[in-house]
Amino acid sequence: MKKLAAIIAAFALAALGVFATGTAAEAYPQKQPTVHVNHQTVIEGSTLVVHGDAVPGCDPWTFTFNGQVREVSGEHVTVRFKVPKVDRKTTYTLTWSCTQTSQSATIGHSIAVRTQEFTGKVKITVVPREAQGAGHANNGSALPNTGGPNVGLLTAGGLLVLGGGAAIGLGLRRRRVTA
């Protein structure tokens, strides 16, 4: 019985170690602006639509695609770019930036102002019109990661399965010994 209790305690401590290794900063992650495009593979001559959602105080936005620059203001923005004509499959880079300015409490007779620049890039693949069938077949890369890191959960689950197997094995062994 003591061995079983020791094994269960060891696995409980291991699971606690996996889940409790995060830093205090992870409890309140800093919000980031997000940018989405209608498609990452587009047909020449079409329109690329870009949506941006900012964090409060992040203004103005600057979007650049193939030499075209759009500056807009607001927390929820949409910009459109004309996709250039190409002879073969070509990759362009859409870049974006947003500057957040925030004021903190008054220090003496002055106000502390903090400025932070957020930037990002999105690869856009342009295909010729004759390859139209492939134009929207791949609208990006793999599926998005909509959750947190999975390694800790996978490790904890594996440890719990091993612990359960060990507990069952010890229980069966004890029955054979007493029988």
Residue 148 resides in a domain: no
Name 81's bridge partners. 48
**Mean pLDDT for the stretch of residues 21-45:** 72
Residue 9 resides in a domain: no
What's the total number of domains in the chain? 1
Residue 131 resides in a domain: yes
Residue 123 resides in a domain: yes
Q: Residue 46 maps to which CATH number? A: 2.60.40.1930
Q: Tell me the residue range of the domain where 127 lies.
A: 32-141
85-123 pLDDT, tens digit each: 998 999 999 998 888 776 665 556 666 667 778 888 989
Residue 116 resides in a domain: yes
CA atoms within 13 A on the CB side of 3: 8
Residue 103 resides in a domain: yes
Residue 137 resides in a domain: yes
118-172 pLDDT, tens digit each: 888 989 899 998 765 544 444 444 556 566 667 787 888 889 999 999 999 888 8
Residue 99 resides in a domain: yes
Q: 89 — phi, psi (to 5°)?
A: -55, 125
